[in-house]
Structures are given as C-alpha cells and as structure tokens.
C-alpha cells in the first residue's frame, strides 16, 4: 500500500537540514525498495523547507515507523509530519486507473 509522508521543517532549521542530509540520504538509500518518489519541498527562495515522500508500506504503522526512523525526524527537523494512504492515479505519463 502507498503512503504519502508530508513533513514541514521547523522555522529556521535549514542548517540542521543541511547538516543531517548525508545521513538522511544514506537512510533513504538503504530503503530504496520502498520509495516511489521523494524530495524536498522548496520555499519562495528555492531553499528546502520540508519533505514529501511516497512510500510503499504494509500498513499505517509501518509507514509511521519508516518516517520515525528517518534521520531528519530523529534530529528534530520537522515541525509536523502527516502520513496518509495514497492512491497513485498517474505515473510515467500514463493513467493507471
């Protein structure tokens, strides 16, 4: 099942994000089989201010565990995180259903 993980950085946390990024990417690299899409949300200046991940997980609890294990979350980067089931309708320029 797919889940959308949407996380908003705490105000003024860009330095923490940049310092934690290498371990965050190592974590995602170790979980790549679960990733459908992932990347930062950008502010008006083009700087990262949050994250969006679409992940494959067995259930809500597994998606929550995935998000909690992210070094960004463990470093306290996020002001809030929302995790919801996601239905993919388009991918690769094609409608799926």
What's the mean pLDDT in 3-13? 98
Gap between the Cα atoms of 57 and 76, Å rounded: 23
Quote the tokens at residue 79: 């002001």
Cα 69 to Cα 22, 32, 46, 73, 84: the distances in Å are 15, 14, 26, 7, 17
Indicate whether 19 pLDDT > 90.
yes
Non-local CB neighbours of 47 within 8 Å, separated by 6+ positions: 14
Residue 94: pLDDT band (50, 70, 90) is very high
Residue 35: pLDDT band (50, 70, 90) is very high
Residue 97: pLDDT band (50, 70, 90) is confident
Class of domain 2-86: alpha beta
């Amino acid at each position: 099942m797919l889940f959308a993980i949407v996380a908003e950085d705490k105000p003024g946390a860009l330095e923490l994000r940049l310092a934690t990024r290498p371990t965050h990417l190592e974590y995602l690299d170790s979980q790549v089989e679960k990733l459908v899409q992932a990347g930062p949300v950008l502010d008006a200046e083009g700087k990262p201010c949050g994250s969006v991940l679409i992940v494959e997980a067995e259930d809500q609890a597994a998606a929550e565990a995935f998000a909690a294990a992210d070094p960004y979350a463990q470093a306290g980067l996020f002001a809030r995180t929302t995790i919801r089931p996601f239905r993919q309708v388009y991918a690769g320029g094609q409608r799926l259903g």
